[in-house]
Chain A
Amino acid sequence: MSENQIYTLTVNGSQREVKDSWIGESLLYVLRERLGLPGAKGACEQGECGSCTVMMDGAAVCSCLVLAASAVDADIKTVEGLAPDGSLTDVQQSFINNGAVQCGFCTPGLIVAIHNLLDSQPNPSELEVREAISGNICRCTGYGRIFAAVQDVIEQRGATR
C-alpha cells in the first residue's frame, strides 16, 4: 500500500474508505480527519494520555499508536460506536449523573477503557478499576467522581443481572 492509496477500515461495524490520506497517518488522525469521527481525542500523540483510546479486535489501545494502513483487517470500535446514534451508554449516563466530566477531553478515552474493563470483568475491585484507567490521564477531576461513576454502573448492572 503506497502513498495516497485508498484502503478500507472496519469502524463501528461499517466499511469506511480512507481516501486522500498520507499512508503514515495514525488511526487517530484517520478517524478524526478522514472519517469524521472526532470522539477519540488527540493530546500526547505518544501513548501516554489515553485520550485517543479505541477498541481494536477486542482490546483497548491508543489509536495514536496504530498505523491506520496496517489496521485494514481489524475490527475497530470508537466511542461513537458504543451506543446507537443519539443515545448514551450506562457508563456515559453515569458520568453525567456523577459529575465525572469537567473539561471533557479525557472522557471519551475513559468511557472506552471502562467499557472494556466491565465487559471482561463485571465486578472489578477498586484496584482493578484504578489499574484499568491507569493509562487515561485526567487533569481536572482528581478521579474521585470517575470512580463513583464506575461504581454506580457496577451496582446497576449487578442489580439487573
Chain B
Amino acid sequence: MDVAKQGAARVGDDPLNGIDMAEAGSVTVDTHEAHGHEAHHEQSFWSKYVFSTDHKMIAMQYMFTGIVMALIGGYMSYAFRMQLAFPGESVPGYGLVSQGEYNALVTNHGTIMIFWVAMPMLIAAFGNFLIPLMIGADDMVFPRINRLSYQIFFISAVVLIASFFVPGGGFGGAWTAYPPLSANAQYNLTPLGATFWIVAVALEFVAFLLGGINFITTLMNSRAPGMKMYDIPMVLWMIVIASILFMASVGPLIAGAVMLFMDQVIGTGFFDPNRGGDPILWQHLFWFFGHPEVYVVLLPAMGIVADVICTFARKKLFNYKLILFTVFATGIISFFVWAHHQFVAGIDPRMANVFTVTTLIISIPIAEMLFLYIATLYGGSIQLTTPMLWALAFIAEFLIGGVTGIFLGASGADIYFHDTYFVLAHFHYTFFPIAIIGFYAGITYWFPKMFGKMMNEALGKIHFWGTIIAFNCIFIPLFILGAAGQHRRIYNFQNFPDLAGLQDMRVFATMALIVMLAFQVVFLVNFVMSLIKGKPAGKNPWKANTLEWTAESPPPHGNWPEGLPNCYRGPYEYSVPGREEDYWPQNAPPDTAPAE
C-alpha cells in the first residue's frame, strides 16, 4: 500500500506527466507508471462486482441494469399493445389493463426506454467501457465519482419501479409530463406516482451529469501519449459530444423538475396560469432538453456504427474530419430546434416559422453523416458479420426515421400529424435504431473484448433478421394508421367509429411486437451460451486498429498491467497500400512490422 501510494504521489507531483511522455515518444513501457496500481489481491464479491471502481465493471453494471430495464419496458409495451389489439380482454401474463394502468404503462414505457435503456446502454455502458480502453488509460479519471454515478442511477431505477407500487399507481401523464396534468394530483390521480416519477428522472439526470463530467474530462486529459485530436476513435468523440450536449441542455429541465416537484408537493403554481404561472414554460424547459436529448442518444449509436463499418469494410472512415465537424454542427443546431414539438401547443406562430426552418436545417448534417458512412462502405471489402449487419440496418432504418421527421418538422404538416401514430412511428424509427440496433451493433462487436469469448454468428444472424423484419412489421402499419388520423394516447379505439375499422392493422402490429420480443430470447440465449462456451476470442478477433484490441480479453484491472500503450496514428488505417496486413494498430510504432 505504501509503495502504491508513493508511486501515485510521484506521478501526481508532475501534472504534465502525460505531455512529457508524449514528447519522449518511443517509450512504450513507463516503469514507474506500473507502480500506480493497486497490488493485485483477492477481492470479495462485494468489492469486485457491486462497489467496484473499475470502469469495466461499472460499464457492466450499467449494461445489465439497462438490459433489465429494457425487458421491463418491453413487457409494458406488450401489455398496452395487447389492450389496443384486443380491447377489454385479459392480457396473458398481465391481466386486465385498466384505463389508469394503460396510461401508466405508456408513460413509463417511454420514460424507461429513453432514460433507463438508451442512455445507460449507449452512453454509460459503452462510454465507461470504451473511453479508458480506447485512449489507452488505466481507468476513468474519477473512479469513485464513476461508482457514485452508477449508484445514483441504480437508486433512480428503483424509485421509478417503486412508483408502480404506491397508492394510486404509476404516473400516467405521458413521458413529457405536461402540466397541469402532471402538476396536480386532482387531474392525474397519481399523487405519489407522479412525484416518484419526477424524483426518479431528476436522480437519473444527476447520475448522468456525474458520469458526463467523468467522460469529458477523461477524454480531454487522459489520452495515451501521441494520441492527438484526430486520432480519437469516432465513437469516443460522439459519446463525449453527447455528454456535453446533455450537460448543456439538462440544466433548465433540472430547474423545471424542481418547479414541478414543488407544484406537486408544496402546492406552488409555477405552471398554473390562474396563479401567474405558465404551463407552456414547462414544455419549453422540457424540450430545450428533450430535443438535444435525441442527439445525445443518437450520437453514441452513430459512433458505434462508424467504428463497426470501418472494421468490417476494411476501409478508412471516409473523411474523418468532415464527419467530426458535421457532428459539431449537429450538436450546435440541435439547440435551435426544440419548439417543433410544440407547434400545436399554442406557441407564437412566428416562432413556429423560425423553428420550422431550423428543424429542416438539422436534417442536413444528419443526412451528410449517413452519406459519409455509405461512402465509407463504397469499395470496401465488406464482411457481413453480425455487428456489420446491425450497423448497416442502423443506416437503413434510421434513414426512414429521419425522412419521416421532415413531415413533422414542417409546422403546417405537423398540425395534422401531431399526436397521431405517425409521430409515434416516426420516433420509434429513430429511437429503435438508436437504442436497440445501435446497442446490438456495439455489443456484438465488443462482446469478445468484454468477456473474452466470441458470440455465436448463426444465432446472431437469426436474432438480427427476426428482430429487423418484426420491427418493420410493427411500425409500418402504425405510419398508415397515423396518416389515417389515429390519435395517440387512446385506450380503446372501438369507441371511435371512424377508427374502429382499422383494427386488423393494430392486431398485426401487436403480433409483430410479440414476434420481435420473442426473438430477443435468441439474443439472451446467445449471450449466456457464448459466455459459457464461446470460442476464446484472443486479443484482436476482428483485426481492428483501436487501442482496446491491444489489451487482454477481457482486460484485467488497470487494462494494461505491463504498461500503458502509446499511440502513433489515426484509428482507421485499414488496407493501407504497401502493407502486408490490412490493418495497422494505433499502438504499432511506425516503420516496423505490425505488433505481434
Tell me whether A and B are bound partners: no
